[in-house]
Structure 1
Amino acid sequence: MSLPSTFDPSRALSLARETLDIEAQAVAAMALRLDQRFVAALELVLKSRGRVVVMGMGKSGHIGRKIAATLASTGTPAMFVHPAEASHGDLGMITADDVVLGISNSGESEELTAILPLIKRMGVPLLAITGRGDSTLGRHADVVLDASVEKEACPHNLAPTASTTAQLAMGDALAVALLDARGFKADDFARSHPGGSLGRKLLTHVSDVMRSGDAVPRVPREAGLMDLMREISAKGLGMSAIVDADNRVLGIFTDGDLRRLIERTGSSADLRALSARDVMHPNPRTVRAEALAVEAAGLMEASRITSVLVVDELGRLSGALNSNDLMRAKVI
């Protein structure tokens, strides 16, 4: 299919840059207007025993769904209710313990304004994100958050562009301020995202993916080099820990160490006379079982190693893992 005759690559790039600039200016201007009303909105939500019920029509409705999802995933129970459906029974989803967040650039969306008196009659606090504080939505609201924009990024100043960006940014500002006020931590975020990569990185611990028991290669320091190599081959981790009689880690020896040893001593050298103590690297990199698996991945990457030993608080060997273990767990 051929390109339209009106397509001009240079103009397209210029319009794209202008769009981003207009929307960036709209968000920056909104930040300067933030005042005590934003704090009042936070206090209404924090005092609520219910949920934030987000409502909006058209493009504002799409933004509202995203804001509700962001709030819910960051510690503030929230849901989206379509204003048109609310007039046909879904208003029953709202309780007196909830807070309603109405979103409309004009503040005059008919489906939304039609149910505002009912919301107020229920005694439900009403927040508004709108471009017009003197609108019907603004007049009914307990707190109005000003999301007005000087102009839309649309060349005709018609399609909701800068205004919806401002609404979305205001919603994100609410969510971030609320999660901070609630003391919402990374672990809490992970618990609400167990199925994604973020959840895996924040919930998976070294103990969940490490090899333990007989699967962990180890030899005493008195073991000969041949015994050490047999242990490495048998366990398939490309390395072995060297431990003392109390199972405390003294050092490590890897396949790479063997190659470097042969290069250094020559293939004719009698390596059988060497012991594990003679060839080990003392004080190897280690992690604790309770550490996050992603921390182990970071240690391995920073140290340019592919395996790491797991030790307890006394330095005793309790496990081992390599990059393949982390990849299977989808941590990296």
Structure 2
Amino acid sequence: MWSRASRIGVAPVFSDCRVLHVTAGRLIRAQRPKKKPELVEIPGLEPITYWDRMHFVPGLAEPKYPAWERDGEDPFRRRGPRYEEMPLYKERPCYTFHQRAKLLEGVKQALWLTKSKLIDGLPQQILSIAEDPAYRIVNQDERVKLAISHARFWSAPEIRPKRDRFCPALIQDLLHLCRIQQPQFPALGNRMLAENYRVSATWERGFQDGYPFPHAHTLYIIDSSVNATLFKPEPLRAKMIMFTFANALARAKILYGEEPKVLDNPITIQCIGTNGRLFQFLVFQLNTTDLLSNDGIKNLIWLDQDQLLYDYAKCLPVIKKKMVQVPAGLSGYSHETFSKFLALYLHGAV
């Protein structure tokens, strides 16, 4: 007795890999393709093949064909030298950390690689700037809300703009708000903004005489990628540690040479990481370049993590069961987060 689905020619789903096809009330079992028998090699016994016949002969074994070598050099199938034969080959491996690299153990692994000690929160001198009303911008909260609205609602024609569009726009607007403090703090005019730079290339060009910006003050890491390449907060914080350490180490080698040592004057570099909504604040102080042993003076890291600038920024409300769960527009703005952003920017010029 066949079901209705079987009579109209719909194949049911089974857990076995074999498929049962139903056609005109008949059940046909699909046959699996026959596997090719494995070659059995007996030591001391040479199999008889059809190599001399130059065509397939039933009952004779299949010969092993030698690798064909072209007389001339084929540019599409060129075989380069082995790694061991290359002139720059080293027995000791070198691991590269780049923009898309993610540390498996996150911050713990970054602390071990940089020989650093983690301190929760920001340094007191930065917190004092963030909490002092004298350093606030006129109509600060209203201007920050306008910057968020510009990035989330007005800078893109889509109803739900992607992170790679609104995240850089938000950072540019927030930095513009910080730059308007230059008349009050003239030392801010001695800084510049470099985008998409590499540490090695930047410091090689900054090894020239008279370069006006030899030292990185604050790194802004924008995680605007989507899907698989998106960094979660923990790998993003590890990435911030690695890049601030790289910048500080490059500067230390310029000032104190290549020999590992305890620095006479520590080098401090700040970093802000964000995905357009969640902010991570970090201050790295390089005290030593001697990273071989775990003993002695260590580098210091101040980390203030998972600071929300706002909760939601929706063009359309989120409605579930005829109830508005999240209203349209900007909601949940936190002025403390931008105060810390501004304090890191003003640090060193106040």
Fold in common (TM above 0.5):
no
TM-score (norm 2): 0.20
Hey, which of these two has a bigger chunk of helix by percent? 1
